[in-house]
Amino acid sequence: MTSQDPARTASGTRLPQVRRVVTEIPGPRSQELHKRRTAAVPPGVGSVLPVYVTDADGGVVVDADGNSLIDFGSGIAVTGVGNANPRVAARVKAQADRFTHTCFMVAPYESYVAVCENLNRITPGDHEKRSFLVNSGAEAVENAVKIARYATGRDAIVVFDHGYHGRTLLTMTLTSKNMPYKHGFGPYAPEVYRMPLAYPFRWPTGPENCGPEAAAQVVDQIGKQLGATNVAAVLIEPIQGEGGFIEPAPGFLPALAEFCRANGILFIADEVQTGFARTGDMFACEHEGVVPDIVATAKGIAGGLPLAGVTGRADIMDKVHGGGLGGTYGGNPLACEAALAVLEEIEDGKLTERARRIGEIMLPRLRALAGEHPAIGDVRGRGAMIAIELVRPGTKEPDPELTARVAARCHERGLLVLTTGTYGNVLRFLPPLVIPEELLVEGLDVLEEAFAG
C-alpha cells in the first residue's frame, strides 16, 4: 500500500497514530500468551514489556488486547522508517514470490551487490571501499576484527569502558558490561584490552576537560600496556548504545582516529545502533568528520529483517583470501530488498532531517524536565537517539530503582520506553524517524506524568 491508498490514514500510516489503553498492561490476552512463552522459551531470553504485538505502524505498536502504545523503542533502533513500511513490505513480498535463498556464495544475485554499492557510497569517506553482508551486528563486529587482524598481522584489539558489541564469544569479550551479557559465560577471547571512555557526565575534572584528557590517557595506556605496533584495531561506538547513550566528549574520536593513522592501527566504528540517520547524520562518525577504516552496520539497515554489513577501505578488505568471509544466510535476498527500500525511504523522506527535528523537540522538553526533577542528572544524545541518566539527587550515584519505576509507569500509561546503561540507570528513547510530531509530544507528556508519580 502507498500513502495514497484509501486503507491508509491522512498522515500516510495504516494504523491510527493514537495512544489507546483499554486494559491493564499487559492485558489478559498478553498474560495468557506469556504463560505459553514461559513454558516454551528459556528465561534467559528477556523482554522489556511482555505485551504481545499483533500490529505496528508509524509510531505505534498494538498488542493482543487492543492497546495501542506509543513506540519510543523502534525495536532497539531497527524500525526507523516505520514498522511494516509499505515500500519495504512491497519489495520483500515481490522478492519472496521470486526466490527466498540461493546463498550468495553459491549463486549470487544483484540485490546483494546493490546493497554493497550503496554502503560503499554512503559510509564516511570518499576512498574506494568494499562491503559484504552478514546477519547481525555481532557478526559484523566479529568480521571487522577478523579483517583488521588479517590485514595488519597484529593481534590486540582496543575497546572502551561501557561499550557493547554483542553476545557471541568475541563480542561479549569486547563488551564492557558483566551482567547480563558476560556473567558466567567465560573464559573470554584473548587479546582484548579496555580503555577509559570520554564520559562527560562522569569525568572527574569536568566535561570541558574530558575529551583531551581521556584521549591522552588512552594513548598513554596503549603505549604502556600494549605498544602501538601490537594493536590491530581500535573499536568504538561513536555514541555508545547499551552503555547508556554516552556521546564521547568533543575531540575524543578525532584524537583516536589521528593516533590510529599515525601508528598503522585500524579505526573501526561500530555504527550498529547509531547508523542509518538515527543521530541526525547518516552515520554518527560524520558529526566530527571522523572517517573510519572499517564500519560495522546493522539494526536500521533493513527495516526489521536480519541484515548487517561490513564496509572498509578497499586495500584492507581485498587482503583477505577467497572464502575467508561469508556465511550461508548473509545477505539473504529478502533482507537485501528491504535494505534497498530503507535507503530509498531515508533519502526520499529526508529522514536525517526528521531525526534532527525529533531531537529539537525532545531535548528542550527533557532539559526542562530535568530542571524540575533533580534525579535527572544528565540529558544527552543527538537526533532521535536521546537519553536521560537518573541519579540520587545531589550526587552522581546511579539510581536504577527509580529508572525501573519510571519505565514501569510509562508502560502502564501506554508508552514503550527502554532502560539501558552500565548501571541500569538510563532511560533511552529511540522513536521511529517517521513518528508524527503530535504523537512524539504526547509521549513526552506521558513521561512527565511518570516522573510525577
Is the pLDDT assigned to residue 2 strictly greater than 70?
no
Do 99 and 297 touch, CB atoms closer than 8 A? no
> What pLDDT, on the 0 to 100 scale, is given for residue 1?
30
Is the pLDDT assigned to residue 10 strictly greater than 70?
no
Is the pLDDT assigned to residue 5 strictly greater than 70?
no
Do 233 and 295 touch, CB atoms closer than 8 A? no
How far apart CA 236 and CA 198 sit, in angstroms, is: 11
> What pLDDT, on the 0 to 100 scale, is given for residue 9?
57
Task: Tell me the pLDDT tens digit for each residue of 27-76.
Answer: 999 999 999 999 999 999 999 999 999 999 999 999 999 999 999 999 99
Distances (CA, A) of 32 to 27, 36, 52, 65, 415: 9, 7, 10, 11, 21
Within 10 angstroms of residue 282's Cβ, the number of other Cβ atoms is 21
> What pLDDT, on the 0 to 100 scale, is given for residue 12?
73
Do 298 and 72 touch, CB atoms closer than 8 A? no
Return the SS3 of 61. Answer: strand
> What pLDDT, on the 0 to 100 scale, is given for residue 359?
98
Band (pLDDT 50/70/90 cuts) for residue 260 is very high
Mean pLDDT of 312-337: 97
> What pLDDT, on the 0 to 100 scale, is given for residue 3?
36
Task: Tell me the pLDDT tens digit for each residue of 195-247.
Answer: 999 999 999 999 999 999 999 999 999 999 999 999 999 999 999 999 999 99
| Residues constituting the chain | 453
Mean pLDDT of 261-286: 98
Q: What is the mean pLDDT of the chain?
A: 96
Q: What is the 3-state secondary structure (H, E, C) of 119-166?
A: HHHHCCCCCCEEEEEECCHHHHHHHHHHHHHHHHCCCEEEEECCCCCC
Do 259 and 293 touch, CB atoms closer than 8 A? no
Is the pLDDT assigned to residue 358 strictly greater than 50?
yes
Q: Find the radius of gyration of the CA atoms of the chain.
A: 22
Task: Tell me the pLDDT tens digit for each residue of 174-195.
Answer: 999 999 999 999 999 999 999 9
> What pLDDT, on the 0 to 100 scale, is given for residue 23?
97
CB crowding 322-345: b at 16 or more within 10 Å, else e: eeebeeeebbbbbbbbbbbbbbeb
Is the pLDDT assigned to residue 22 strictly greater than 60?
yes
Return the SS3 of 170. Answer: helix
Is the pLDDT assigned to residue 289 strictly greater than 80?
yes
Is the pLDDT assigned to residue 8 strictly greater than 60?
no
C-alpha cell at position 344: 530509498
How far apart CA 23 and CA 29 sit, in angstroms, is: 10
How far apart CA 23 and CA 201 sit, in angstroms, is: 40
Is the pLDDT assigned to residue 15 strictly greater than 80?
yes
> What pLDDT, on the 0 to 100 scale, is given for residue 13?
84
Domains, in order of start, for the chain: 28-71+351-452 (3.90.1150.10), 88-349 (3.40.640.10)
How far apart CA 272 and CA 78 sit, in angstroms, is: 10
Mean pLDDT of 239-266: 98
C-alpha cell at position 187: 573464559
How far apart CA 252 and CA 334 sit, in angstroms, is: 39
Is the pLDDT assigned to residue 146 strictly greater than 50?
yes
Task: Tell me the pLDDT tens digit for each residue of 408-434.
Answer: 999 999 999 999 999 999 999 999 999
Band (pLDDT 50/70/90 cuts) for residue 125 is very high
